[in-house]
């Protein structure tokens, strides 16, 4: 009776843990859902190309980095269990489908094997020495094991945007250039801060996102794609960096290092400056 009770408790917590920590390989694209009709629209949607832009037409440009936090209510759909964004952003990098770039300069890239090591943890344990005395419990050697990074731990994404004024078409708008998943960097089991894992070019990613459905809480027959989600800017975010001489994030400015509220206010100030610039372009 006691053994049965312990076994039941073990199975219960085991199943609970599995439910809370989905396996990357377990997910399948939403196209595998059963419907009373054949869904064709999502698979036939093309990538809407950007209008041609030449240097002479760009009278103003500003690079902006912003964070999308999936824990915010407006961004929760990015973690829809049937088709979460992280399985694609992470999966395309580690299987070599897309080039994973080392930084936001988007010049040098890493191998898929290196991308798989990012976020993983190494542990050193002691095991019996296979060449030693099997009867001596103290005859052990150190062995290093690596714990694989689980994609579901990605809760934030960083976007690299170019805001520019196109004089020819008389528009001031942003264009998402790249996206990076954010992970917690650890040294010796101590969390030292969040940082981008790698960068994927949005132009490379868009053809793969255009046929991936995003949950619609109002109507399952009117779902949009991940590409539409980003192009229509349906996310909530906050600015963490603007182009500057020292290439620093807002939180790394000397006056904001110990004041998170001041850094957030600076983020809103940058956002407002972009708004004022656009407002002053026109006469009313």
pLDDT of residue 64: 97
Question: What is the chain's mean pLDDT, rounded?
Answer: 83
Predicted confidence (pLDDT) per residue in 85-132, tens digit: 999 999 999 999 999 999 999 999 999 999 988 887 777 777 777 777
Span 44-63, mean pLDDT? 91
* CA 276/CA 256 separation, integer angstroms: 24
Residues in the chain: 284
Predicted confidence (pLDDT) per residue in 218-229, tens digit: 888 888 999 999
Q: With a cut of 60, say whether residue 159 has pLDDT above it.
A: yes
Predicted confidence (pLDDT) per residue in 128-158, tens digit: 777 777 777 777 777 777 778 888 889 999 9
Structure tokens at 235: 């996310």
Q: With a cut of 90, say whether residue 26 has pLDDT above it.
A: no
pTM value > 0.85: no
Question: Alpha carbon of 215 to those of 13, 60, 80, 105, 223: distances in Å?
Answer: 29, 36, 7, 32, 6
Q: With a cut of 90, say whether residue 38 has pLDDT above it.
A: no
Predicted confidence (pLDDT) per residue in 174-207, tens digit: 999 999 999 887 766 667 788 899 999 999 999 9
* Of 208, 229, 256, residue with least CA distance to 88: 208
């Amino acid at each position: 009776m006691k053994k049965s009770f312990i076994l039941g408790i073990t199975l219960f917590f085991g199943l609970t843990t599995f439910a809370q920590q989905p396996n990357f390989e377990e997910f399948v694209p939403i196209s595998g859902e059963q419907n009373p009709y054949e869904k064709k629209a999502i698979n036939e949607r093309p990538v809407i190309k950007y209008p041609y832009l030449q240097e002479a037409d760009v009278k103003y440009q500003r690079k902006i980095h912003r964070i999308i936090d999936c824990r915010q209510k407006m961004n929760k759909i990015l973690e829809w269990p049937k088709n979460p964004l992280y399985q694609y952003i992470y999966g395309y990098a580690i299987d070599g489908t897309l080039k994973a770039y080392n930084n936001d300069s988007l010049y040098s890239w890493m191998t898929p094997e290196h991308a798989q090591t990012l976020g993983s943890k190494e542990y050193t344990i002691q095991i019996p020495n296979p060449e030693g005395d099997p009867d001596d419990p103290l005859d052990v050697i150190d062995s290093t094991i690596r714990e694989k990074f689980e994609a579901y731990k990605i809760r934030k994404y960083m976007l690299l945007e170019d805001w520019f004024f196109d004089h020819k078409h008389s528009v001031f708008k942003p264009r998402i250039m790249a996206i990076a998943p954010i992970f917690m960097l650890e040294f010796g089991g101590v969390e030292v801060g969040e940082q981008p894992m790698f960068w994927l070019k949005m132009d490379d990613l868009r053809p793969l996102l255009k046929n991936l459905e995003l949950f619609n809480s109002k109507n399952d027959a009117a779902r949009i794609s991940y590409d539409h989600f980003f192009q229509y800017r349906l996310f909530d975010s906050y600015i963490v960096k603007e182009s500057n001489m020292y290439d620093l994030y807002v939180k790394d400015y000397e006056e904001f290092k110990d004041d998170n509220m001041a850094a957030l206010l600076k983020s809103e100030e940058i956002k407002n400056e972009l708004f004022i610039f656009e407002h002053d372009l026109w006469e009313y």
